[in-house]
Chain A
């Protein structure tokens, strides 16, 4: 039972990406990283995590930078605060979807402190997992949410664990086709953000594919969707501070009133950010008429297997697609 006291540990300021990677490599699983530290500190205070070494990424100033790339895309350092991203000209000029999502995260104080990298790499918000229950994700052999309180949990794509992915930033960035850049002891690698997230069928104890000695350094947004029509909405119980019950980010390219291409991404419904491909396919190539929108917004999670107390999320997902498409029409 937690004591609200972080056990003694060694706090090391990383001076560079290389330094950080070296420290993580050296200390192995004894080390944890912090950046904005709006979340890790709770794990530490609750003594659910007891690293011996805390590698602080915050001093790596180069990872705070946000810039426009030569081809008209964006390069966002993982340590840019949510507020900085929200307010940055390069973001707002053509990629306002990201700014909108940032502005809906948590509270102003957390947005000033928390980083975009942290928003993407955050852990499950399942209250059982976070409450210290010995569930699948924590190494046990049951999911307490399935038999208990699951109104906030996933309705589709789950396997044993029904945690829902909580990130607002992820859906906006995936809708824009962003990549992530990761540095580790073997150098730099890059992958689509959509493939960065890991579902419980692949590895039930993690939410993303960062190895313990890797750090997320950048998010790169291609120019593909620059200036297109966007829609972001986050539905939550309490305005002042809440995670999404469900959110949606939409990037929609139209020619006349016809959708030439689109990406619809939602969180709160699956353990990883969910591309709503059925809806995308239903409206792609079609005009945004009321009836086309209505039929594309029907049963957007066809493989859903909800619990009794989260069936409502099927209605919510359909409604969010409808609102996204209607807003552009």
Chain B
């Protein structure tokens, strides 16, 4: 890799103007002459079975062009069926109509009669483990497949396997069941019993990191056109391209080559649109009936019922500290909730466990967990799925353990921060780099920690101040994916990256790295995004991984392109390829100064053919390049220089791990119960920062969302009916820019390059959220001297503790 002209500097992002002018097309913006509109018939119960569905009245209505029911779509195993015979949540659809306009579609939906058999439901994850409690799914109450881990988090979290597990001998009277029964997941480092023996201070508490709907601004709208030739085109709202493309092909029973997936802009996903979702299948199956484009326009309420959200993570955490403040033992018993339609609880548990090993490096540990199903919306990765719940779940426990052991909590955080190549995960494999301690130190400096600690516990009128801190981490880089660069005969360089356009601008950062690698002029570099037809195959745009994963693959493609350019120049101008360098869209001989432009070299590639234009796939790619990547080059074959990149296991030794360390000061009003985040510092170990503006936006946005998670947002289900009650934005309370930090929010990067990352980069998206969330929780606890076992910390919870005398006035 060569000069850093672009990496580390700000630039105008390629999709920015379209967004601010309104030119950007989201899924619902696509219009067609012969468009039909889809709507669905939904279950009014938390758990029920459709005995029969009478669609005859709807079918005979003028303007109704297609009606389908669960019988017309394939079954899904653990995931969401497109339409369900036995809806496992309130608001899940059983049938759908396509009509000439939305009014007719709505009227047709109301004309469909469903004969419902109402079944028992359960919405509380602990309740599902009680003997005699109902199971949320017909197959059982617990997912028992192997957790997929973080790399597969967008794919559903675990293989489909089920069991009925009840904790027959447990005592359910406390926050966490005593004498629990079977756990389905267990991780050990050393002998945790010995670890506790080596501890001087042992502290234990239960904290429930709560569920919340993901609630992206853009609901799930999709247009699908099933052509008479069998080719299906889908315009959807997705974070990703490659995995959504293959995923939606799977949902509708097509091979990816027969499907084109287009998603140029995504109005927010936060993980919930990491891959395909069943709402995409509804218009597709309706379109199959009539071969006309069909649009389903997602609604806000559907987003609550039929969308997905963060999994519950209820953890009883026991921590042992020795006289140095070292964590000699950490033991966790945890229950995760998948909702009804995923095994996400398992990847939530394993990702949470993984992050705790990364952040806290306990000398010994035993983590045990079980996932359960409830008749609540599908749980699916949301920004730090598991990692950020774990951050919230342990923040107060560490704070209290540190204080009981006589330490300032920051000392314990620093003492237990990982070594640079420290171990992580169940297998204790090394991380590629780790600078969490440095992040904490920068945060402490930025927020003037000593002064905040000094003010901790002091009163100002009815307000009491507190300071707290937390960390979070995320595995944020993977190998095994493809890159694709085309040098056109006009000399422009096109990066055909396959990540989506979630809004983080990491797809553009990928192109910046490729441009630097080729010493290309940014004005003559084009980033293609948004269409599966031009996407090299890569991982989904989740897991904070695009900059690393897609960046590395495309830097490799850029290196291939540079090599080809040199070879072509050598063939044309003489000398060896190694004698040439690339600069300013020219290939230049280092000694003679003879040169040819990229345009001329691309023409030379066209003339030469073979590997240079992908008419022949080089041997090293024949085995390992994904066919979709080769297909994505097809229109350029023979038309320009085509260069592939492929990352393999040789490119990586360890877990790519990004970290955040945050310190927050809060005030808590003992009369109104109101918590205000007075100031926060949120510093991140993200390796090299490729695009400073996007980096800061990610940390700031993560901090706001983390504050919202701890203080405002939640799912609320009526237990008696299983129906969610807060399905409006004003009742659900996602944070806005007005719910920010009262004073300053300091953000920054450690900036140490990762030895394996492209230009030293890792990722940033997820950890700042968990660190912010945990820091606010720890600060509230520091202010009041009591642990909050349940979240969010709304005024009623604070005042309830005042009323009960737990908090002294």
Contact = CB atoms under 8 A, between A and B. Distances in A.
A192 B578 CA distance: 92
Given A144-B720, A149-B725, A46 B739 contact: no
B562 to A, nearest CB: 50
A319 B730 contact: no
A315 B802 contact: yes
Interface stretch (A2-10, A67-75, A223-231): A2-10
Nearest to A234: B672
Interface stretch (A19-27, A204-212, A237-245): A237-245
Nearest to A297: B671
Contact of B106 (A7, A149, A233): A7
B733 interface: yes
A64 to B, nearest CB: 26
A151 B721 contact: no
A302 interface: no
Nearest to A46: B301
A309 interface: yes
A312 B796 contact: yes
B733 A242 contact: yes
Nearest to B799: A312
Size class of A's contact patch?
35 or more
A128 B725 contact: yes
A316 B109 CA distance: 46
B725 to A, nearest CB: 4
Interface string A228-271: 00000101111111110100000000000000000000000000
Given A4-B301, A148-B720, A312-B799, A238 B712 contact: yes
Contact of B800 (A46, A312, A319): A312
B109 A149 contact: no
Contact of A238 (B462, B720, B735, B803): B735
Interface in A285-329: 309-316, 319-320, 322-323
Contacts of A309: 796
Nearest to B737: A240
A124 B94 CA distance: 32
Nearest to B739: A240
Contacts of B17: none
Nearest to B719: A148
Contacts of A239: 738-739
A312 B673 contact: yes
Interface centre among A4, A233, A237 (most CB of B within 10 A): A237
B296 to A, nearest CB: 11
A142 to B, nearest CB: 10
A27 B706 CA distance: 51
A110 to B, nearest CB: 9
Size class of B's contact patch?
35 or more
Interface string A82-125: 00000000000000000000000010000000000000000000
A245 B103 CA distance: 38
A127 B725 contact: yes
Interface in A144-161: 144, 147-149, 151
B637 to A, nearest CB: 45
Contacts of B299: 2-4
Contacts of B110: 3
A314 B671 CA distance: 11
A241 B736 contact: yes
Contact of B673 (A8, A235, A243): A235
Interface in B164-222: none
B718 interface: yes
B89 to A, nearest CB: 12
A4 B109 CA distance: 12
B544 interface: no
A7 B101 CA distance: 12
B727 interface: yes
Given A5-B102, A46-B301, A240-B738, A315 B796 contact: no
B468 interface: no
A110 B738 CA distance: 15
A149 B722 CA distance: 12
Interface string B678-709: 00000000000000000000000000000000
A51 B301 CA distance: 22
B795 interface: yes
B739 A238 contact: yes
B369 interface: no
Contacts of B44: 1
A315 B802 CA distance: 8
Contacts of B731: 127
A131 interface: yes
Interface in A34-52: 42, 46-47
Nearest to A130: B728
B725 A237 contact: no
B794 interface: yes
B415 interface: no
Contacts of B730: 106, 241-243
Interface string B365-405: 00000000000000000000000000000000000000000
Nearest to A323: B671
Contact of A316 (B41, B712, B737, B799): B799
B91 A1 contact: yes
B726 interface: yes
A245 B44 CA distance: 29
Given A131-B725, A240-B738, A2 B672 contact: no
Contact of A1 (B42, B102, B735): B42
B39 interface: yes
B671 A322 contact: yes
B716 interface: yes
Contact of B672 (A148, A151, A235): A235
A241 B735 CA distance: 9
Nearest to B110: A3
A309 B672 CA distance: 16
A323 B795 CA distance: 16
A316 B301 CA distance: 32
B772 interface: no
B106 A3 contact: yes
A7 B103 contact: yes
A127 B103 contact: no
B224 interface: no
B130 interface: no
Interface string B87-107: 000010000000000110111
Contacts of B674: 235
B380 to A, nearest CB: 22
Contacts of A238: 711-712, 733, 735, 739
Contacts of A315: 671, 799, 802-803
Contacts of B41: 1
A148 B717 CA distance: 9
Contacts of B737: 240
B723 interface: yes
A237 B721 contact: no
A54 to B, nearest CB: 16
Interface string B595-618: 000000000000000000000000
Closest 7 CB pairs of A and B: A319-B671, A312-B799, A240-B738, A3-B106, A4-B299, A240-B736, A127-B725
Given A148-B720, A312-B800, 19 more contacts: A3-B109, A106-B730, A130-B728, A144-B718, A144-B720, A147-B720, A149-B716, A236-B795, A237-B795, A238-B712, A238-B739, A240-B737, A241-B736, A310-B796, A312-B795, A313-B796, A315-B671, A315-B802, A320-B672
11 contacts: A7-B103, A7-B106, A7-B107, A47-B106, A106-B730, A151-B796, A311-B800, A314-B803, A316-B799, A319-B671, A320-B671
